[in-house]
A and B are shown apart, each in its own frame.
Chain A
Amino acid sequence: KAGVTQTPRYLIKTRGQQVTLSCSPISGHRSVSWYQQTPGQGLQFLFEYFSETQRNKGNFPGRFSGRQFSNSRSEMNVSTLELGDSALYLCASSWTGANEKLFFGSGTQLSVL
């Protein structure tokens, strides 16, 4: 059974640009969560989607947005990139998203220059 797949694996962007990251959950999983990981702040919750609806949102500015499609695949978008957005962005999926085990993808390493 395939795991959580994130693309691309690496991205280099410049300040002011926007970026879209993609996540395909494990087959059958309907909840997709996104996390940002940095050396200083650790893992921080961005948002969670379940059945195409945003169910939870973390404390990130509106430049960070996401969506989920009917096949449970999810994308997150960051507009007007800032240097501080450089991080590893991790996607995690679970069956229904109610206090369940999360399965993480390998992440997308974003560097903003």
Chain B
Amino acid sequence: QKEVEQNSGPLSVPEGAIASLNCTYSDRGSQSFFWYRQYSGKSPELIMFIYSNGDKEDGRFTAQLNKASQYVSLLIRDSQPSDSATYLCAVNKAGGGNKLTFGTGTQLKVEL
């Protein structure tokens, strides 16, 4: 079992719809959770981070964390073609410095 699992996709959504990206993790010691966006040929860019159970909203993005279920998700409202990218889920353990464990990413395609 991989430490961080994501559906590789591609996940296709129409422009203006809500895109829902999911991630599960296996280590209950994981403490912080990150979503990175990576455009083809570019480096990852942090878009959301969440530490506590519940929802965290930032503009069109909402991160959701459920530690009991070991599940973290990212919702993108009003999806735009510019949101088309690979979304990487990453987790970090308590006291782990910056040793992030990444999922392999979900490719999102927002269609006109």
Interface residues of A (CB under 8 A from B): 31, 33, 35, 41-45, 48, 50, 55-56, 58, 90, 92, 94, 97-107
Interface of A is mostly: strand
Residues of B within 8 A of A101 (CB): 34, 46, 49
Q: Are A107 and B43 in contact (CB under 8 A)?
A: yes
Can you list 7 pairs linking A and B with CB atoms under 8 Å apart?
A42-B105, A43-B90, A45-B99, A99-B51, A99-B96, A100-B98, A106-B42
Among B31, B42, B88, contact of A99 (Cβ-Cβ < 8 Å): B31
How many residue pairs, one in A and one in B, have C-beta atoms under 8 Å apart? 63
C-alpha spacing A44/B105, complex, angstroms: 12
Residues of A within 8 A of B44 (CB): 43, 90, 104
C-alpha spacing A31/B101, complex, angstroms: 17
Interface flags, B79-104, vs A, CB<8A=1, else 0: 00000000010101010111111111
C-alpha spacing A1/B90, complex, angstroms: 26
Residues of B within 8 A of A94 (CB): 98
Residues of A within 8 A of B104 (CB): 41-42
